[in-house]
Amino acid sequence: MRNLNSLKAGQQIIFSGTIYTARDQAHKRMAEAIKAKKRLPFELEGAIIYYCGPTKTPKGGIIGSCGPTTSARMDEFTPALLAQGLSAMIGKGARSKKVKDAIKKYQGVYFVTYAGCGALLSKYIKHAETIAYRDLGPEAIVKLEVKDFPLIVAIDTHGRSIYDAH
């Protein structure tokens, strides 16, 4: 994703491109791989992770329901991923101060998308391919190609957050 520095907290955008799903257990494995200096299942530099565990794909479908999950559960692992070049995350809910500081330090962005709308959000996904950790079932890493995916900037590269009191 280009021009992250131009995004402002509260701004709504439409994104088309590649994102990767990853939840708690996938984050734990990636953090362990980073610590052990092992190769990750995808290049983190410039990548976007969507905190999502899609439901079973319906017959003839691309993906099942795929709404965001609570982002705070990934807070323990997020600074290490940002340090490796992760550019953005998509989820729901507020983040810890540690994550907010890491987003600012590494010039990343945290987006939120519409919770409770997983079936609707699946309509923006044009291709889905499981690429790692198949044994985790819905928590496996899935590479998604999305078109016109709706996002709201929750924390921008300057550390401004929609969750801060005004």
CA nearest neighbour of 28 among 132, 102, 154: 132
In this model, does residue 166 exceed pLDDT 80?
no
pTM of the model: 0.95
Confidence of residue 161 (pLDDT cuts 50, 70, 90): very high
Across the range 152-165, mean pLDDT stands at 94
- Report whether 50 contacts 142 (CB < 8 A): no
CA angle 150, 130, 75 (to 5 degrees): 60
Active site residues: 27
In this model, does residue 2 exceed pLDDT 70?
no
Domain extent listing, the chain: 8-155
d(CA 119, CA 33): 32
Exposed / middle / buried, residue 70 (Cβ in 10 Å: 0-12, 13-18, 19+): middle
Residue 80 pLDDT: 96
pLDDT tens digit string along 31-54?
Answer: 999 999 999 999 999 999 999 989
Q: Does domain 8-155 have CATH number 3.40.50.720?
A: no
